Chains A and B, each alone.
Chain A
Amino acid sequence: MSTALYIWLDPNVQWILFGSMLLGLSSGVIGSFAYLRKQSLMGDALSHAALPGVCIAFMLSGSKSIGLFLLGAAVAGVIATFGIGFITRNSRVKQDAALAIVLTVFFGIGIVLLTRIQHSGNGNQSGLDKFLFGQAASMMLSDVMIMAAISLVLVTVCSLLFKEFKLLSFDPGFARGIGYPVAFMDQLIMFLIVVAVVVGIQAVGVVLMSALLITPAVSARYWTEKLGMMVVLAGLFGALSGLIGTFISASGNNLPTGPLTVLVATAVFALSVAAAPRRGVISKLLLRASVRTQVRREQAEVSGERRNRAV
């Protein structure tokens, strides 16, 4: 118990907890829109596409500055979103295949660049790949502060543009009809996803960042039919997962933060699947059982009546 108390009091850990909470919150909020626009796997594609950006940033600067890495990752992410958009708009290849193509080709180019860097004998390169697999515990206070600030900005943008994003998610045709700049807003949402992914990679790693975008949003969808409620719930679930995951990881058993956060989010999802009202498995079973007994009772009444009439 004393170790748990100690963790809460350590200012460094407090910052990391706060940062993961905000990261979970913002990715849950943006993930809700991605979910409704059937772009849940965008986060997965973009986080892989960041690799060549990081490598080029390193090759150009020769230094391991986090700021440059983030910039390179963001530029590569934006190019990847343009690529996905170009392929889906201009050919008959569907969005899922476009995502997979951009993901693998960008990652392939990234691996080529990474091996070039490793073979070029630059002694400074170690840790480049660690950047992509993420470890929240090794983050510095300044990293956490940047992460927290960007997460706040993301949440603010989403709440300010809530009405516009809502219309765009449900009826883009109507949005275009009343004169919204649909293409620009499409790209803006993609850009927000890019920012969330780039900020999150450092904390939880490439693969698991996409989970923070998807799982809270899917869990929230089980509980409500209203978008506003869903976004709030997704943010809440994300923040909760970030908090609990980081807490377990920090309480000393040396397990990596990202996977624990994702497992907590998955537990919330499993709970939602089981217990959510109306959509959950349990309530569906109960409904089915009650309908069955009702039908049986009605059948009994009908056959009873028929028998009475026959008599």
Chain B
Amino acid sequence: MSTFWIVLTGALVASACSIVGCFLVLRKMAMIGDAISHAVLPGIVIAFLIGGSRDSLLMLLGAAAIGLLAVFLIQWFHQSGVPSDASIGVVFTALFAAGVVLVSMYTRDIDLDLDCVLYGEIAYVPWNTLQIAGVDIGPKAVWGVGLALLLSVVLIAAFYKQFKICSFDPAMAAAVGIPVALFHYLLMGLVSVSTVASFESVGAILVVGMLVVPPATAYLLTEKLGRMIVYSVLIGCASSVIGYFAASMLDASIAGSMISIAGGIFLIALLFSPSHGVVLRKIKQKQMVRQASIAE
């Protein structure tokens, strides 16, 4: 049973992250997931200091609030002339540093381990269950990530056209009257929610990886946004299933194996994708050169 829950959690995280990740890759904001997952640390610590326990809704809210603050600051610095990568870097490192200082100032003798916050372990998911009226209804992580996934699916399905135009041509989106800034913050909000809901239970690295690697792989395989989302969800789920079994075979970290498998699939797509693969493009070039020389 625990295998089922872990694989299910992995697949849910992969789906939730890769759906929003597609838009991040298209808008050249792939590093924002990494930034958010580090920047929320002070929010978690402050919520912990106020609430006093590790697994409260308060912690999730604190993290989400600081995540949105980070997104807002990044956008503000970007608009005042700092390149977006530099503004991402300044904001998340500053917030993370503040978080680490807070941890070492106030929580020296309380059970809040940096490793636990940042590198939550997916193997412990099945034991942290949610109970309603005394009935065990499954791991907490499954419900949290599942709700985040549901939210992203509903919002993106409802405003698919708007998100699509905003990603490919923001100027045109503004011209036809779509509130571009609103959809930017809506997308960033979805990224924050998915990141925060996932990373406490499965670790930041799995979240950041699933936000980028499956969408980038799908980006190499198709030209259509709809298909790209479907492909990246499939690739994400496949890597979490294969990654789990690879991890139990190697007796190694589950999250790490899932990401490594996703990286392997990306490498295969990079080399052998029918439309954009490096190897196939080289072969085509050679054929064209040969044909040209025969024609001469």
A92/B276 in contact, CB under 8 A: yes
> B89: which of A41, A109, A129, A254 is its contact (CB, 8 Å)?
A41
The verdict on B98 contacting chain A, using a C-beta distance below 8 Å, is yes
The verdict on A125 contacting chain B, using a C-beta distance below 8 Å, is no
> B101: which of A39, A105, A211, A260 is its contact (CB, 8 Å)?
A260
The verdict on B40 contacting chain A, using a C-beta distance below 8 Å, is no
Interface stretch, picked from A12-20, A111-119, A139-147, A160-168, is A111-119
Q: Which residues of A contact B88 (CB under 8 A)?
A: 40-41
Q: Which residues of B contact A260 (CB under 8 A)?
A: 97, 101
A88-145 at interface with B (beta carbon < 8 Å):
90-94, 96-97, 99-101, 103-105, 107-116, 119, 129, 133
Q: Mark contacts of A201-243 with chain B using CB atoms, 8 A cut-off: 1 yes-contact digit, 0 otherwise.
A: 0000001101101110110010000000000000000000000
For this complex, 11 residue pairs linking A to B, each with C-beta atoms less than 8 Å apart, are A94-B28, A97-B28, A97-B30, A100-B213, A105-B213, A105-B262, A112-B252, A116-B251, A215-B94, A221-B82, A255-B101
Q: Which residues of B contact A24 (CB under 8 A)?
A: none
The verdict on B263 contacting chain A, using a C-beta distance below 8 Å, is yes
Q: Given A40-B89, A92-B220: A115 and B252 within 8 A (CB)? A: yes
A91/B89 in contact, CB under 8 A: no
B97/A208 in contact, CB under 8 A: yes
B231-259 at interface with A (beta carbon < 8 Å):
247, 250-253, 255-259
Q: Which residues of B contact A44 (CB under 8 A)?
A: 31, 34, 89
The verdict on B63 contacting chain A, using a C-beta distance below 8 Å, is no
Q: Which residues of B contact A279 (CB under 8 A)?
A: 80-81
Q: Which residues of A contact B220 (CB under 8 A)?
A: 91-93
The verdict on A275 contacting chain B, using a C-beta distance below 8 Å, is no
Secondary structure dominating the interface of A: helix
The verdict on A259 contacting chain B, using a C-beta distance below 8 Å, is yes
B256/A97 in contact, CB under 8 A: no
Interface stretch, picked from B141-149, B161-169, B181-189, B204-212, is B204-212
The verdict on A251 contacting chain B, using a C-beta distance below 8 Å, is no
Q: What is the bound-complex CA distance between A93 and B216, given in angstroms?
A: 7
Q: Which residues of A contact B34 (CB under 8 A)?
A: 44, 100, 103-104
Q: Which residue of B lies closest to A89 (CB)?
A: B278
The verdict on A199 contacting chain B, using a C-beta distance below 8 Å, is no
B64-84 at interface with A (beta carbon < 8 Å):
77, 80-83
- Interface residues in chain A, defined as those with a beta carbon under 8 Å from any beta carbon in chain B: 35, 38-41, 43-44, 87, 90-94, 96-97, 99-101, 103-105, 107-116, 119, 129, 133, 207-208, 210-211, 213-215, 217-218, 221, 254-256, 258-260, 262-263, 266, 269, 273, 279, 281
> B93: which of A103, A112, A215 is its contact (CB, 8 Å)?
A215
A255/B104 in contact, CB under 8 A: yes
- Interface residues in chain B, defined as those with a beta carbon under 8 Å from any beta carbon in chain A: 25, 28-31, 33-34, 38, 77, 80-83, 85-90, 93-94, 96-98, 100-101, 104-105, 114-115, 119, 205-206, 208-209, 211-213, 215-216, 219-220, 247, 250-253, 255-260, 262-263, 266, 270, 276, 278
Q: What is the bound-complex CA distance between A97 and B269, given in angstroms?
A: 15
Q: Which residues of B contact A263 (CB under 8 A)?
A: 94, 97-98, 101
B90/A104 in contact, CB under 8 A: no
Q: What is the bound-complex CA distance between A91 and B268, given in angstroms?
A: 13
Q: Which residues of B contact A217 (CB under 8 A)?
A: 86
Q: What is the bound-complex CA distance between A210 and B85, given in angstroms?
A: 12
> B83: which of A38, A111, A259 is its contact (CB, 8 Å)?
A38
Q: Which residues of B contact A92 (CB under 8 A)?
A: 219-220, 276
> B104: which of A103, A113, A129, A254 is its contact (CB, 8 Å)?
A254
Give the Cβ gap from B295 to chain A, nearest Cβ, in Å: 28
B252/A101 in contact, CB under 8 A: no
Q: Which residues of A contact B85 (CB under 8 A)?
A: 38-41, 96
Q: Which residues of A contact B276 (CB under 8 A)?
A: 91-92
B208/A104 in contact, CB under 8 A: yes
Give the Cβ gap from B67 to chain A, nearest Cβ, in Å: 16
A111/B253 in contact, CB under 8 A: yes
> B253: which of A100, A115, A213 is its contact (CB, 8 Å)?
A115
Q: Which residues of B contact A266 (CB under 8 A)?
A: 90, 93-94, 97
Given A38-B83, A104-B208, A258-B97, 15 more pairs with CB closer than 8 A: A44-B89, A91-B278, A93-B270, A100-B30, A105-B262, A107-B259, A108-B257, A112-B257, A133-B114, A207-B96, A208-B100, A218-B90, A221-B82, A259-B98, A269-B90
Q: Which residues of B contact A38 (CB under 8 A)?
A: 83, 85-86
Give the Cβ gap from B231 to chain A, nearest Cβ, in Å: 14
